[in-house]
Amino acid sequence: MSTASETRVRSKAVRGAAGKAERPGRDGRSGRERQPWLPWVFLAPTIVGMGIFTVLPIIASVALAFFRWDIISAPSFVGFDNFAEVVQDPTVRVSFLNTILFVVVAVALQLGLALGLAIMVQEKLPAWLRVFFRSAFFFPLILSAASVSIFMRYLFNEQFGVVNWLLSLVGIPAVPWLTTPGGSAAVVILVYVWQNFGFSFLLFIGGLASIPVETYEAASLDGATGWRKHLHVTLPLLSPTTLVASVMAIINALQVFDQPFVLTRGGPGDSTRTAVMVIFESAFQRLEFGQASAIGVILTLIIMAITAAQFRLSKRFVFYQ
């Protein structure tokens, strides 16, 4: 039972929440007018944090792209030389091409697998099993990518790995997974997709749950069954979720590093070398921090361009209910 004082407190709180800032005080001025600095006080921790840890490093990184710097000696201004060298470097070119190919294959697999499994789990499984599979498919994402890759490296070892041992049981000869260009690319994609599809899966589960049952019922009345129902109802209504999932998947995939670095070190040759690996190698192995920044700037521009293109295309292909 509420007491009188409790009621007073509540009404005061409600008034405050409802628009205290707009209500004039005793001096006739609103709260915002009396304390104009107050919003900035609340925003300050975020602004300062973002400024120090995000904005300044971005500015410094872009500026660094115009300098030659090896950490030890003083930096020297070189204009656009770093960009020119980067563009001419065949390793950088190959690594960007690898990254684009990786994004195309890995993201397609990641989204396809996530969507297929989400539909299966949401439609075919009882509620208690759905909870289990949501956790199970998400679990790899919380593991360290480096640890997973070390583990996978053992599994895919040509001579002593479990994968080849299993294949040998059905008469398939040992596959040089990590020592041939095709094999190593396949393993990197496989490990990456296995570890990352859980996030897209959860997004699709959420998206599927938000589709009204009535829509499916209406489609059934119109004669749609099985995959046609999914083609004409599920996919269009999931398109906003697909947009978000694909944007995030592409941005993540463009920055792939851990899996190829640990599994193959970018080899054999440059077959699994990615853009971020080249950034790492330029900076911390060749001590060309300016060039590393230049590659980083180019990669950022590519990510921004692709994301902008996705949102532009979304106007034609995404349907909001």
Partner 1 sequence: MQGSNGTLRDISRRTALGALGVGIVGATVASWPRLTGTDIPGRGDNSLSIAIMGTAADAAARQKVVDAFAKVHPDIKVKVQAIQAVDWKDFFTKILTMVAAGTPPDVVYVATEGAQLFAEKLAHPLDDYLRRDADHMREYFADVHPSLVEAFMYKGSLFQLPIDWNAANMYYNTTALKQAGLERPADDWTYLDFRNTLAAMRKARPSDFTPYYWTNRLFGGVVPWLYANDTSFLKETKSAGGRWLWDGFYANDPTRGMRSGGYQWLEPNANDPKVFESFDFLRGLVKDGLGVRPEEGGGNSLVGLFASNRIGTTPAGGYWVQGLSEAGMKQDDYDVQFFPKWRTQRHQFGTAGYAIMKTAKDKDAAWEWVKFSSSLEAMQIVFPTPNTTPARRSMVNERLYAGKGPRHWKVFYDTLDRFPSTGPIPAPPQQAAVETALMKNVSLAVSGDERQLKSALDSLQRDLEFALRRQP
Distances (CA, A) of 100 to 31, 106, 189, 214, 262: 53, 10, 12, 41, 20
Q: State the minimum distance, in angstroms, from the CB of residue 155 to partner 1.
A: 12
For tokens 């059905």, the residue is: 170
Q: State the minimum distance, in angstroms, from the CB of residue 14 to partner 1.
A: 13
Residues 131-138: contacts with CB within 8 Å, 24+ apart? 134/201, 134/202, 134/205, 137/197, 137/198, 137/201, 137/202, 138/198, 138/199, 138/201, 138/202
**Which one, 45 or 79, has the nearer CB to partner 1?**
45
Q: State the minimum distance, in angstroms, from the CB of residue 100 to partner 1.
A: 20
φ, ψ of residue 29 to 5 degrees: the values are -110, 150
Interior/surface letters 206-227, b for 16+ CB within 10 angstroms, e for the rest: ebbeebeeeebeebeeeebeee
Q: State the minimum distance, in angstroms, from the CB of residue 109 to partner 1.
A: 24
Q: What is the dihedral of CA 136, 142, 144, 145, to 10 degrees?
A: 70
Residues making contact with partner 1 (CB under 8 A)? 3, 5-6, 9-10, 12, 41, 70-73, 89-91, 153-154, 157-160, 176, 178-181, 264-270, 273, 281, 284-287
Distance of alpha carbon 230 from alpha carbon 238, whole angstroms: 10
Q: Which amino acid is at 62?
A: V
**Which one, 72 or 213, has the nearer CB to partner 1?**
72
- Burial of residue 69 (number of CB atoms within 10 Å: 0-12, 13-18, 19+): buried
Q: State the minimum distance, in angstroms, from the CB of residue 251 to partner 1.
A: 26
Distance of alpha carbon 42 from alpha carbon 269, whole angstroms: 52
**Which one, 48 or 108, has the nearer CB to partner 1?**
48
Q: State the minimum distance, in angstroms, from the CB of residue 184 to partner 1.
A: 9
**Which one, 10 or 232, has the nearer CB to partner 1?**
10
**Which one, 285 or 321, has the nearer CB to partner 1?**
285
Helix orientation angle between 162-169 and 145-155, rounded to the nearest 10 degrees: 40
**Which one, 38 or 55, has the nearer CB to partner 1?**
38
**Which one, 140 or 181, has the nearer CB to partner 1?**
181
Q: State the minimum distance, in angstroms, from the CB of residue 271 to partner 1.
A: 8
